[in-house]
Amino acid sequence: MKLKTFYITGSMVLALLTGACQKSAKLSIEMPDLPDGTEVAVITYADSATVIKGMTGGGKLSMEIPAEEGTLTELKVDGKTVAFYVVEGGEAVIKNDAESASGTPLNDRFTAMMHRLDSIDNLDDLRLYADAARQTFRDNRDNALGLYAYSTWLRFADLTDIQKELPDVPDNIKNAKRQKKLMDAANLRAATAPGKKYADFSAPQPDGTTRSLSSYMQPGKYTLVDFWASWCPYCIKELPELRELYNKYKDSNLILVGVAVRDEEADTKTAVEKHGISWPVMYNTRRIPYDKYGIGGIPHHILIAPDGTIISRGESVKQLDTRLRSLLKQK
């Protein structure tokens, strides 16, 4: 019998050593408040594909993640996204109230990026946040930070700016399933940009009637639409400023309408009573405002002229005060 001779090259040795030394990606979850048996799922951020599922015990769960190194994922608890995790060799951990994992180099960088973006999230000028997200993408085109930052920027970007950026966007980011919805929203924002006519919509109200946005408007008056929700901390935070604005201009041809977005009727009612909201509120609109206006987040304000033309959208309460002072000739 003739023996076969095998030759092992240097590259093969390197590959064997690399494979042997490469750490598996492990994710530990430490959330003491979770009941035993709570379902936890790790899904890909780009296309929402399930990577792995597990059940908590004693508020803890440890999983080895079977996904490609560098993949950005979301941690879902009972179907709700609670944190982000980048698949990376080593053990990362997600603890109570953490927005992202920590413990490995790329996850620590991702967490630092989230904190940096949060620190400049400015209700007075959302462009600062959008610009920061765009620059973060440009600095991280080849990793998970870039995917997240680009998606974040798309939520607020103008369609013309997106079209200018597209040639420099890597295919794996550009073609992610998530981006299609964000591009659809950008097209909706372009269709309802300043200078365009507002888009009307209707929803069932607590008194059993169905009301449209147009039913709150009055001839000869400007209408300020505030998209908000009881679960949105930024929406609640700005209510005192919004109330001051309303009281200042309500007798000067301005109507303010609150539109509750993705909010349960009972929760909206509780918030209206708790925070003393005295202007009309439109209930039960669910996701309709997203489908009509492509809003990227709330609070979001749209100012409509008496003839139905959109004057501005996405401006802060302070920016609206300056605009209304000029429009309504107040000092």
Which pLDDT tens digit goes with each residue over 169-204? 999 999 999 999 999 999 999 999 999 999 999 999
**Per-residue confidence (pLDDT) for residue 329, from 0 to 100:** 77
**Per-residue confidence (pLDDT) for residue 119, from 0 to 100:** 85
C-alpha pair distances (Å), 221 with each of 227, 293, 306, 311:
19, 21, 5, 13
User: Which of 116, 121, 122, 118 lies closest to 316 in space, CA to CA?
Assistant: 122
Copy the structure tokens of residue 95: 């603890």
- Whole-number Å distance between alpha carbons of 60 and 40: 10
> Which superfamily, per CATH, for 21-103?
Immunoglobulins (2.60.40.10)
| pLDDT by 10s per residue, the chain, length 331 | 443 333 444 444 434 344 444 579 999 999 998 999 999 999 999 999 999 999 999 999 999 999 999 999 999 998 889 999 999 999 999 998 899 999 999 999 999 999 998 888 665 667 888 899 999 999 999 999 999 999 999 998 999 999 999 999 999 999 999 999 999 999 999 999 999 999 999 999 999 999 999 999 999 999 999 999 999 999 999 999 999 999 999 999 999 999 999 999 999 999 999 999 999 999 999 999 999 999 988 999 999 999 999 999 999 999 999 999 999 976 4
Residues of the chain with CATH 2.60.40.10: 21-103
Q: At residue 307, what are phi and psi to the nearest 5 degrees? A: -90, 5
- Give me the torsion for CA of 259, 263, 269, 275, rounded to 10°: -70
> For residue 32, is the peptide bond before it cis, meaning its omega torsion is within 30 degrees of 0?
no
Residue 62, H or E segment: strand 60-64
- Upper half-sphere CA count for residue 292 (Cβ side, 13 Å): 19
Copy the structure tokens of residue 259: 């539109």
**Per-residue confidence (pLDDT) for residue 330, from 0 to 100:** 60
Give the domain 202-327 fold.
Answer: Glutaredoxin (3.40.30)
pLDDT in tens, 208-222: 999 999 999 999 999
Residues of the chain with CATH 3.40.30.10: 202-327
